[in-house]
Amino acid sequence: MSVSLVSCGGWSLIGLTFLTLVLVAPIAVLTGFFAVEILVGLRPLHTIPQDEAISASAAIVIPAHDEEAVIERTVRDIVDEARDFHLLVVADNCVDRTAELARAAGASVLVRNDPDRRGKGFALGAARDRLQGDPPDIVTVLDADCRIDGQGLRRLIANASQTRRPCQAVNLLAPDLAAAPLVQISTFAFMIKNLVRQRALQRLADRAHLTGTGMALPWPIFEQADLGGSNIVEDLALGLELAERASPPMLVEGAIVWSPAASATGTLVQRRRWEGGFLATMFKTAPSALMRSLRRGDVRGFSAALDLCIPPLALLAMFNVAALVIAALAMLAGAAGWPLIGLVAIGLLAAFAVMLAWLREGRRFASTATLLRLPFYVLWKLPMYVGLAWRGAPKDWLRTGR
């Protein structure tokens, strides 16, 4: 009888170990792939030099909602850098002087008033209708508060023209080491996502994510694309749709588009908007993408699907803490210790990769003292994730406070 009890106890501990593995394995896989992406993305992509002359015609479209504070400077900068391109500002449901200032600065302006159909996707749809009569070869989309130099803009358009693929510039937030620590860390995390991991995705899956600004699309693709309507992350959804249609976007590292960093309050609004939309899109598309790639034996597609499953940096850290607690409690209850050891090892690898990324690319975005406050950044975002779980992602197209 005692042998039977021991046997039952042994099986129960094996079952507890298996249950622990089932609970923590997804976090371990995603964290491990996150570390691999960072390590793969530390080295810059090879950039093919482009001639200054571009034979393709191009239109630059700027969707703008109440952007009177920045639109005039943005338009003047683009006109100075790229006089040979058609510049169209879509003043979408504005109640300020966006249209007037953009027109005075030298842009063509399309005024759109439709309060029931607000969103960047609707604004781009209106631009498509306007351009339909005399379509350009390439349509480039920029946000109203972004900056890109003439060489980068031409390189972006030239790549789209030569490859006939959607092309995405490196989209970064302007670094400011005098900003609040939480803003610096958010800017650093943005760089990890939009530079380091985009490089890795290009290498591993031959594609990149569209990020909404600094993207160039050949007209046949732009003409047929589902522009997302009011989708809060219409750019991400569009990139996934194009990849599925065998037109995967590619990263053009020789073009960089800079956006201003928001204030601490504005940063929280910005992250709530983007991360909420990203998580909603992830839950909707990632499982089917994983299954499709497995059925097809598509290694590149599987890599892209895994990338889509990786949550934002702070949320990934929270998941790892939760997984460590589960594994530690299970070990104390008698389960095997190797799930905990594996989690710790993978977590340390990811932390090492993030540190390498900071040393290689991130010191201009976050100071050493700021990086040490990373745990506080995670805690700072905890209420945001609770709010997203309770209320869902924001639905409105709002201008971020600066």
CA gap 334, 258 in Å, rounded = 52
Gyration radius (Cα) of the chain, Å: 23
Per residue in 245-269, pLDDT (tens digit) is 778 999 999 899 999 877 666 666 6
Same-domain pairing of 249 and 288: no
- Supply the pLDDT for residue 395: 56
Contact 149, 52 (CB under 8 A): no
Same-domain pairing of 29 and 159: no
pLDDT surpasses 50 at 1: no
Per residue in 140-165, pLDDT (tens digit) is 999 999 999 999 999 999 999 999 99
Same-domain pairing of 252 and 321: no
Same-domain pairing of 258 and 381: no
End residue of a domain, out of 228, 262, 296: 262
Same-domain pairing of 245 and 145: yes
Same-domain pairing of 40 and 62: no
**Structural domain range at position 63:** 58-262
Per residue in 80-96, pLDDT (tens digit) is 888 889 999 999 999 99
Same-domain pairing of 121 and 251: yes
- Torsional sign, CA 18, 21, 26, 29: negative
| Helix or strand (DSSP H, E) at 52 | none
* Stated pTM of the model: 0.88
Per residue in 44-63, pLDDT (tens digit) is 997 665 555 577 899 999 99
Same-domain pairing of 327 and 222: no
CA gap 127, 63 in Å, rounded = 9
Average of pLDDT values for 104-115?
A: 93
Looking at the domain assignment, is residue 401 inside a domain?
no
Q: What CATH number is given to the structural domain containing 227? A: 3.90.550.10
Same-domain pairing of 154 and 104: yes
| Neighbour-count burial of 402, counting CB atoms closer than 10 A to its CB (0-12 exposed, 13-18 middle, 19+ buried) | middle
Same-domain pairing of 78 and 209: yes
Looking at the domain assignment, is residue 38 inside a domain?
yes
Which of 5-9, 231-235, 309-313, 347-351 is modeled with the greatest confidence? 347-351
At position 150, the amino acid (one-letter code) is: G
| Helix or strand (DSSP H, E) at 35 | helix 2-40
